[in-house]
Structure 1
Amino acid sequence: MPTRMITKDEVTLWSEGIGDPADAPLLLIAGGNLSARSWPDEFVERLAAAGHFVIRYDHRDTGRSSRYDFALHPYGFDELATDALAVLDAWQVRAAHVVGMSLGNTIGQLLALDAPERLLTLTVMLGGALDVDFDADLEAALKGEPSVSGLPVPSRRFLDMMMLLQQPAGTDEELLERRVEKWRLLNGEGVPFDSDEFRRRELLAAGHAGTFDEPIVHHMIPQPPVSRGAELARITTPVLAIQAMCDPAAPPPHARHLADRIPGARVVEIENMGHALPLAVHEPLAAAICAHTRAATV
């Protein structure tokens, strides 16, 4: 598949195009600390087969994109959003269907607010609305207190286990196993976890990046001001909010909360899906995304 290295303000971004360039462009925006490889090849190929030219890319500080000392070169969500626009520019795409998961869910909302002319549609999943103070909610969860937003938060056990998996590991094999165990937690309990499937994916991701070490930089980025949530009411891009019904990180009704703040936004629920993309959810997830993109172009 064709790849392009993009230079933007001294940042280099790796990107890849899959499918027929004459088809409707669809940009995939990955989650925090994840490269383009977090979008499984099988899933990407489904989207391409449905009539999309799919573009995926490595966030800065992931995969083959530029890596920096965050303390010396800090950045925020605004820079990550303009990275996405730079990727579209490099592929000479005026406007695209955009799909964002987790951190990409937040970036997608910012794009719909600040660069609506570049979006044909927006699909968001595995995250929350801009008016949700996730940092405050997580702090409350760690203290065993109710969330500030009033929305469900990850369980204390889930948070404790995720923090345990951030501890230093030694060999590449240990690092690989830790990465697989992280996905076991994020997968939730709705879909049986296939460790071989995720081990294969993590080997591909590590080979792509050239290291088994996982980046953690994006955990340091402050979330956008909660006040931006009030702006969601002015979004005119057709929006689909997908709720993974077994998501341990952004449980129901986060997608409904987001959709209720955007005129005309729709919600699709994917039963048994967690905060991951196992093979079992590819078909219903791709079907929901493609139905949304087709409806906007009829």
Structure 2
Amino acid sequence: MERFVDVAPGTRLWVEESGAPDAPALLLVMGAQASGLGWPDELVEPLAASFRVIRYDHRDTGRSTWTFDEQPYPLTALAGDAVRVLDALGVERAHLVGMSLGGMLVQLIVADRPERVLSATLIGTGALSSVPYEHPDGTRTPAEELPGVSPGLLEMWARPVEDRGPEAELERRVEHWRVLGGDRIPFDAAYAREQESRIIAHTGHHHAGTAHARADASGMDRTEALARTRVPTLVVSAPAEPVYPPPHAHHIAQAVHGARLVAIAGMGHALPREVHAPLAAAILDHAGRS
């Protein structure tokens, strides 16, 4: 079932629900500039067998309102949007699953609105914490000195995004997913192309969004709140992650009180077919325990 939810004056978000309406709610929070359809149907379906799964388009993505140039907002506003989606659907508490920027938004909600969270699953993201990372040998690395984005991805992000038409934009997105996926799982260009073609059709245009890259990213540190949270938290460790490479997942698990880790073999910063089954199993197990 699809609907639109008003989250701020002049701002509406596209929202879709799957699964039994009386099942526990599970909210999927996607990354920067990513439509809710970035959560593949093949991943949503097994989750919807047990939960009321909710996915949505952030502001300036998909069918939601694109107004950043007229009404700029900080990244923290996107966490508020997620809570307002739950409000509009009458959901008091939900299991939250966030990927990339979505994982940071989930951390904000865990820290600021823990009463709304049944459990949290964090994928391909970094800790909103300044605590140092403690290595197995006991040495420590300051959070700001943990490994950064891979050089190949940085080079790609440095290129200006020019509108050269729908086909060129589709090819750019496919190549982007090739790099994001890492080097462990063979890249399926046809699958990536199919997914992005569907997202472009869903959005109604092919234009690349840049709002989240330009939004104010200040005020997101939640070191103390995450260190004392009681929200059951699962951190997905992806060995081929090029955006938040190891040991970022282990750092999150140290920064968030009581968090536990699960590794998904071969996973990078993408959701190819090969990770759907193990990722769904990990989410279902964690939410079920909670």
* 1:247 and 2:245 are equivalent in the alignment: no
Could you tell me whether the CA contact under 8 Å between 2:75 and 2:212 is conserved in 1?
no
- Amino acid of the structure 2 residue aligned with 1:13: L
* 1:270 and 2:268 are equivalent in the alignment: no
Using the alignment, how far apart are the partners of 2:217 and 2:175 within structure 1?
Answer: 26
Using the alignment, how far apart are the partners of 1:169 and 1:147 within structure 2?
Answer: 40
What are the Cα deviations for residues 134-182 of structure 1, in whole angstroms up to 9, with x where unaligned? xxxxxxxxxxxx9972211123232112323x43141211111011111
How far did residue 264 of structure 1 move? 1.0
- Of 88, 100, 103 in structure 2, the residue corresponding to residue 102 of structure 1 is 100
Using the alignment, how far apart are the partners of 1:167 and 1:227 within structure 2?
Answer: 30
Task: Show the counterpart of 2:181.
Answer: 187
Task: Show the counterpart of 1:44.
Answer: 44
Could you tell me whether the CA contact under 8 Å between 2:121 and 2:283 is conserved in 1?
yes
Task: Show the counterpart of 1:167.
Answer: 161
Using the alignment, how far apart are the partners of 1:4 and 1:38 within structure 2?
Answer: 18
Unaligned runs of 5+ in 2: 132-140
- Of 74, 98, 116 in structure 2, the residue corresponding to residue 76 of structure 1 is 74
- Of 151, 159, 182 in structure 2, the residue corresponding to residue 156 of structure 1 is 151
Alignment RMSD: 1.7
- Amino acid of the structure 2 residue aligned with 1:156: P
Task: Show the counterpart of 2:83.
Answer: 85
Task: Show the counterpart of 2:288.
Answer: 294
SS at match of 1:26: strand
- Of 185, 193, 199 in structure 2, the residue corresponding to residue 199 of structure 1 is 193
- Amino acid of the structure 2 residue aligned with 1:100: G
Using the alignment, how far apart are the partners of 1:131 and 1:220 within structure 2?
Answer: 22
SS at match of 1:149: helix
- Amino acid of the structure 2 residue aligned with 1:3: E
| TM-score for both structures, normalised by structure 1 | 0.90
1:211–1:226 CA distance, 2 compared to 1 (3 A): closer
Using the alignment, how far apart are the partners of 1:182 and 1:168 within structure 2?
Answer: 14
- Of 226, 229, 239 in structure 2, the residue corresponding to residue 232 of structure 1 is 226
Using the alignment, how far apart are the partners of 2:191 and 2:218 within structure 1?
Answer: 34
Could you tell me whether the CA contact under 8 Å between 2:92 and 2:116 is conserved in 1?
yes
1:273–1:15 CA distance, 2 compared to 1 (3 A): same
- Of 102, 119, 131 in structure 2, the residue corresponding to residue 121 of structure 1 is 119
* 1:66 and 2:81 are equivalent in the alignment: no
Using the alignment, how far apart are the partners of 2:270 and 2:166 within structure 1?
Answer: 23
Unaligned runs of 5+ in 1: 134-145
What are the Cα deviations for residues 187-213 of structure 1, in whole angstroms up to 9, with x where unaligned? 111111100001000010000100111
1:52–1:226 CA distance, 2 compared to 1 (3 A): closer
- Amino acid of the structure 1 residue aligned with 2:158: M
- Amino acid of the structure 1 residue aligned with 2:268: G
Could you tell me whether the CA contact under 8 Å between 2:130 and 2:221 is conserved in 1?
no
How far did residue 271 of structure 1 move? 1.6
Task: Show the counterpart of 1:30.
Answer: 30
Using the alignment, how far apart are the partners of 1:182 and 1:196 within structure 2?
Answer: 13
1:78–1:173 CA distance, 2 compared to 1 (3 A): same
Using the alignment, how far apart are the partners of 2:62 and 2:128 within structure 1?
Answer: 27
Could you tell me whether the CA contact under 8 Å between 1:130 and 1:224 is conserved in 2?
no
Using the alignment, how far apart are the partners of 1:278 and 1:132 within structure 2?
Answer: 31
1:148–1:98 CA distance, 2 compared to 1 (3 A): closer
Paired positions, count: 280
SS at match of 2:111: helix
How far did residue 223 of structure 1 move? 2.4
1:132–1:169 CA distance, 2 compared to 1 (3 A): farther
Using the alignment, how far apart are the partners of 2:209 and 2:42 within structure 1?
Answer: 24
What are the Cα deviations for residues 91-128 of structure 1, in whole angstroms up to 9, with x where unaligned? 11110000000010110000001111110000011110
Using the alignment, how far apart are the partners of 1:126 and 1:69 within structure 2?
Answer: 25
Task: Show the counterpart of 2:20.
Answer: 20
How far did residue 78 of structure 1 move? 2.5
Using the alignment, how far apart are the partners of 1:243 and 1:106 within structure 2?
Answer: 15
Aligned identity (percent) is: 43
1:65–1:92 CA distance, 2 compared to 1 (3 A): same
- Amino acid of the structure 2 residue aligned with 1:221: A
1:227–1:172 CA distance, 2 compared to 1 (3 A): closer
